[in-house]
Structure 1
């Protein structure tokens, strides 16, 4: 409701993942309440900011535009069945006139313009000897792929762990200042000294799957940059560049090779002087072997790598090396520049392909494939005929929109609701409305747990049918979406227990439980209409009685 003054006690919010600043749309929505129409000439908005806010953040929040309005339209079985039930119902017509389809169609002219501009830009790039350059580029891609395969084999834990001893020299990949992609067969590396390695259990988002078990602590030269008052960024640089001697944890994928050389390292590397002295020794070793390179461990002879895949990949790399040496543009002084231009041209072609794919999606009817898949599901489960005529099961599902209509219908037709008491039925239905995850949810009693198992079996069976019919879904996630956390509490509620006794059965908040019961009442009302639609008088009366039992003092 409108008010003269709106006060923001905080300008940050938790979005379920992290705390962030309010978006411009959120600010507009809330601050717009200030000022009563016909009463106040102006509204007052007060922001209470108790932490540093960058000017750009404040400008974005206060003067930014409203959030874009995007369609959240989605297909449901209930909607399809109600369309089929109507004499002039046409799901495709409904989709064609949806806001989602309108947005897709509206984007088409912009996409066409984008394709023309990208095509013009790509065609304007003329490269001499493009065929030879393309051949060289493809060889380079194969070479890198094979090198990665070899690396993954050699640095498998069973081979590399015995050689990750403290003091061993290792070569590491590091990010150069040039942000453009490199087209050399060998990427830039620097050297470091192993301090330790450790096993990790959790895989961070920025680490590759093959690094999920071990990280290696390496002493090397690093550049430290201050991003904010509390955050610093550390970047590995070449041994000869300016930087600080730091011990950093690197994934196995960042280690290129292991040396036969091992250095004695002091037990305490905390003092800066100790770390600097170790890097001086490393620099001396690097200078001594500058001509031929620091000697490396041989994967087969030293590390005992026994793998046919490794030998095959090595032979192919050797063959590619010979092809590189003989290639006609190998010694061209402009090879790197030409490869960069060719790479840019390929990226433009990829963008054009992506935009054209979006255009095809826009011109096609939205959800067309999903519509076909969901029709197959309804036919497979016996809700509609091959001519899209709604059958008895479909009539039941038509009445259910507040929970999963397929699972509830399957339970009704399997007799699950007939053979149990009203209290048990209400407890079972609570699994459809409860979405929160409780840390210490009580285990339901044996008879309720048996009912929950039947629900999960039904959900898994229906999910498998949907997956077979090409409906995109994760079966385990779908089955686990039905939760038994409040079955005991709802059972006690239907039994007439006092509220304080019910709250002792679960750690759920009072308001959350009341909201769940309100939703439960809505489902029961829909099930009542569903039972009435197919002439199931006994079930209809049972659902009505269940409504009376759970309503109690809730208005």
Structure 2
């Protein structure tokens, strides 16, 4: 290490109030000596210091440094930190919504912004020397992870990268890949927490240590043997179990049965609801008091539910608990008022600001994705001051936001993952509890798990031991990525670049196992072929004809069912009360209500037929799409129980049908003439084959089917092995095939449509581009266009029996129907070229987008749509973002003007104020 490097490290270290750890110094040293560096360390261990050293070097060496983060809130936080150190003239911020001093020497940005700069060849990249990639383990994210790899592969070789990651079990593999694609790259790993973390379980009002000795997370290095669980806690568990057995023997009610216990997840972490154990339950208010008395505040209290977080704040506030003194309450009130200066009193009233502020001044707040980001910023700033004492948060708070606490509380060790209640993983537990213990403030941190009936303390101890998770790449070529790579690199170099991805690197590692399996399969295949012999001819050729017929029939049937199901489902979403439809068995019927239910929001329609039969129809109940042939008025006060009401409605329906004499709708399934003709030709070949007359034909067929199955397995393994060097390149070629067929490519060059697609960054990017080309958006007003664009960005949360959403008016409905047809056509092409189909457009936010773009008040929009303020603002911003992308992509004209009008009409009130916060 040179004297110059020693001087740099000494000068940089003096900026911190504590002595830097060895791993931090190691990372900084590698960076100072000209190498890239991957730093993997536990949450709260201070790995961002190495990223901040990259900024320091950039200032010293008169180079630029970009500091990238996965989320805008983290970008804002880091921007303010760097402004405080280097001054506002040297630091900029770029988050898509916000642009502050974008040509500064130090620019904080989201990773997507940097990716877009690289593709556009932005002049802002000039003199770039360092890029910090905070939370780089985000590259495992299914939806956004590819962006990190695009940046790593796309940056100039002269740029030094600092990759900051949570501890992952395959960090060496990741580091090896970084060395492969970036040259000199060092890996620095630390498992040590600078602040020891003690583990507890709160049973009723009694706090127990989880471990008998020192918790593994509170040790400098973990011991070889596992730490023992506290015997007192085991006795609590044993005593509870005996009470369950005794109580279950007691007769209850007439049946004489004990009350059944209900568990969720594996049951190891509790979840029993037996009434005998209500004394063990601790209310949230009691937890707040216990933490305050034990001097364990400030604390983050994790509840895996937005509604639960908000309810918890209300429970503590309504209990009259105050955790702040007068000065702290005044400070928190000032922070809150500062962040909402741009909002009107009407908006604040709609957002429940008075109650939020009252709870905040008492030292209690919630923090979750459904909140207005301005409110989240208030909570984050208040917590950073130490004045805010208790924050009820969902797990999103554990993803990078710098809100260290003395204590972390986890209410339950099971969570709902969208489909079922599952145990949290050791990695998730580590991420959550890693927030406890503020470096330079606390000498120790504390993790508290609330007791749940049926809990096994040994299972909790397993969670609390050091664990890591493997990092898996989610990289895959998209349409936007493809046209950008074709424009900047060309087909051959783009294909080479994809083969350098971490996803491809991990695939190559799996080939050894595939080779072993292939040898075994080939041996089985040789034996199976000997068993297939027929004296009349080549039975394998006959078997392959049969197999092809079966394959085509199955594929044709599946395709017809899929098309039919989509058509039926969509037809239900377009029905309205009063529509007259024809059912095969019931005949002419009137639609009474429409809606959706179930986890996947399946549409349904309630109808009444001429014989007074009332049915609730789901897609699986119908043989074909529901096509209304007319409409009658359903009175507002119509009652199914009133025979007169039913008779009047059905009489009006009969009169309407008689007057119009409509033709019965065609419910025949879609035809597949080409495939059916191919099947007929193959069947003719089968009948003409010599082996068709063999008396032992079916016996031979069984052995032949085994041969075909083994051949396919061998071919699959061979393809995996032979394609190891270009599996992503093959995906890339399929993407290009779709683009070529739609006219986005002319050979290896982009057409005008391809150049437009380069500017559209959306999960349904190709659908959006095709809608532009087909004038789907033409002639729409700004509110109508906002409604239609929302269907390309919105993804509804699972609900039960919610009212079925619909487009706000006829022009937007017509445009959305055209958009869905484009989506179906693109889907058919994707299936043809073996591509995964893009998700279905979702109209759940269309009315909210239309109302907000039309200028309606926030209170009315929120009341009508039932959305939380945070969700509403987040989706509005995504509509604004897509409108801005289209305005840039389409060039001068009416659509560009309308897109700008959409953005202008929606960037107001709470949305405009929010864009300065997040």
Q: So what's the TM-score if we normalise by structure 1?
A: 0.54
Matched, 1:14 2:378: no
- Shift in CA distance, 546/72, structure 1 to aligned 2, threshold 3 Å: same
CA distance in 1, matches of 2:878, 2:893: 23
Q: 1:383·1:393 contact (CA, 8 Å) conserved in 2?
A: yes
Alignment match, 2:384 = none
For 1:117-196, list aligned pairs within 5 A. Answer: none
Q: Which residue of 1 aligns with 2:873?
A: 514
CA shift for structure 1 position 446: 2.2
Using the alignment, how far apart are the partners of 1:457 and 1:389 within structure 2?
28
**Deviation, structure 1 residue 72:** 0.7
Correspondence 1:447 to 2:811: yes
Q: 1:350 to 1:464 in 2, by over 3 A?
A: closer
Cα deviation per residue 1:247-274 (whole Å; 9 max; x = unaligned)? xxxxxxxxxxxxxxxxxxxxxxxxxxxx
Deviates more, 1:26-35 or 1:443-452: 443-452
Q: In the alignment, which of 511, 522, 534 is matched to residue 108 of structure 1?
A: 511
Residue of structure 1 equivalent to 2:781 = 421
- Give the CA deviation at 1:87: 4.6
| Counterpart for residue 856 of structure 2 | 497
Report the counterpart of residue 542 of structure 1 in structure 2.
898
In 1, the alpha carbon distance for the partners of 2:500 and 2:720 equals 18
Matched, 1:406 2:770: no
Residue aligning to 1:127? none
- Offset of residue 454 of structure 1: 1.1
Structure-2 change in CA distance of 1:376 and 1:115 (3 Å)? closer
CA–CA distance in structure 2, aligned partners of residues 492 and 459 of structure 1? 25
CA-CA distance at 1:111 after TM superposition: 4.8
Q: Who is 2:889 aligned against?
A: 530
How far apart, in 2, do the equivalents of 1:44 and 1:519 lie?
A: 38
Aligned residue in 2 for 1:394: 754
1:237 aligned partner: none
1:374 shift after superposition: 1.4
C-alpha distance after superposition, 1:164-202 (max 9, x if no partner): xxxxxxxxxxxxxxxxxxxxxxxxxxxxxxxxxxxxxxx
User: In 2 relative to 1, CA 115–466 (structure 1 residues): closer, same or farther, beyond 3 Å?
Assistant: closer
Correspondent of 2:822 among 458, 469, 484: 458
Question: What is the alpha-carbon distance in structure 2 between the residues aligned to residue 495 and residue 513 of structure 1?
Answer: 15
User: Does the C-alpha gap of structure 1 residues 365 and 460 become closer, same or farther in structure 2, counting only changes over 3 Å?
Assistant: same
Partners of 1:39 and 1:112 in 2: how far apart? 55
Q: Secondary structure at the match of 2:750?
A: coil
Superposed CA offset, 1:304-345 (max 9, x none): xxxxxxxxxxxx99x98xxxxxxxxxxxxxxxxxxxxxxxxx
Query: Aligned pair in 2 of structure 1 residues 446, 542: CA closer, same or farther (>3 Å)?
Result: closer
- Which of 436, 452, 455 aligns to 1:50? It is 452
Among 464, 467, 470, which residue is 2:834 paired with? 470
Distance in 2, Cα, partners of 1:430 & 1:382: 26
Residues 134-182 of structure 1: CA deviation (Å, up to 9, x unaligned): 89xxxxxxxxxxxxxxxxxxxxxxxxxxxxxxxxxxxxxxxxxxxxxxx
- Distance in 1 (CA, whole Å) between partners of 2:715 and 2:446 is 48
Q: Does 1:383 align with 2:747?
A: no
CA deviation vs aligned residue, 1:474-497 (integer Å, no higher than 9, x gap) = xxxx57x11222222211111101
In 2, the alpha carbon distance for the partners of 1:509 and 1:102 equals: 42
Counterpart check, 1:62 vs 2:464: yes
Conserved? CA contact 1:25–1:67, under 8 Å:
yes
In 1, the alpha carbon distance for the partners of 2:719 and 2:448 equals 44
2:495 is equivalent to residue 92 of structure 1: yes
Deviation per CA, 1:420-473, whole angstroms, max 9, x where unpaired? 111111111011111115621343332221121111111112222222333243
Distance in 1 between residues matched to 2:841 and 2:874, nearest whole Å: 17
What CA distance in whole angstroms lies between the structure 2 residues aligned with 1:26 and 1:361? 37
CA distance in structure 2 between the partners assigned to 1:351 and 1:63 by the alignment: 44
TM superposition score normalised by structure 2: 0.33
Query: Which residue number in structure 1 is paired with residue 441 of structure 2?
Result: 39
The answer for the alignment partner of 1:488 in structure 2 is 847
Over 3 Å counting, the alpha-carbon distance change for 1:360 and 1:512 in structure 2 is same
| Secondary structure, counterpart of 2:843 in structure 1 | coil
On the 8 A contact 2:504/2:728 being kept in 1, the answer is no
Identify the match of residue 790 of structure 2 among 408, 411, 430. 430
Q: 1:44 to 1:355 in 2, by over 3 A?
A: farther
- Distance verdict in 2 for CA 1:30–1:86, change over 3 Å: same
The equivalent residue for 1:312 is none
CA distance in 2: counterparts of 1:451 and 1:48, whole angstroms: 52
Q: Which runs of 5+ in 2 are unaligned?
A: 1-401, 533-694, 700-706
Distance 1:50 1:400 in 2: 48
1:365 aligned partner: 726
- Partner of 2:905, secondary structure, is helix
Alpha-carbon distance in 2 for matches of 1:351, 1:42: 59
| Mapped contact 1:100–1:366 kept (Cα < 8 A) | no
Report the 3-state secondary structure (helix = DSSP H, G, I; strand = E; otherwise coil) of the residue aligned with 1:429: helix
- Change in CA separation of 1:514 and 1:86 when aligned onto 2, cut-off 3 Å: same
CA–CA distance in structure 1, aligned partners of residues 771 and 716 of structure 2: 45
Flag the 1:358–1:462 CA change in 2: closer, same or farther, 3 A.
closer
Structure 1 residue 61, shift from structure 2 partner: 1.7
After superposing the two structures, state which structure 1 stretch, 94-103 or 40-49, moved more. Answer: 40-49
In structure 2, the partner of 1:81 is 483
State how far apart, in whole Å, the 1-side matches of 2:901 and 2:794 are: 21
Shift of 1:97: 0.8
Q: Which moved more, 1:402-411 or 1:361-370?
A: 361-370
Cα–Cα, structure 1 residues 414 and 362, in superposed 2: closer, same or farther, change >3 Å?
closer
State the alpha-carbon separation in 1 of the partners of residues 517 and 741 from structure 2: 43
Instruction: Give the Cα separation in 2 of the matches to 1:115 and 1:407.
Output: 40
Relative contact order, higher structure (CA 8 A, sep 6+): 1
Quote the offset at 1:46 in angstroms: 1.2
Change (3 A) 1:55 1:398: same
Alignment coverage as a number of residue pairs: 335
Question: Residues 65 and 109 from structure 1, CA distance in 2 versus in 1: closer, same or farther, beyond 3 angstroms?
Answer: farther
CA gap 1:41/1:503 in 2 versus in 1, 3 angstroms: closer
Q: Is the 8 A contact 1:111 1:355 kept in 2?
A: no
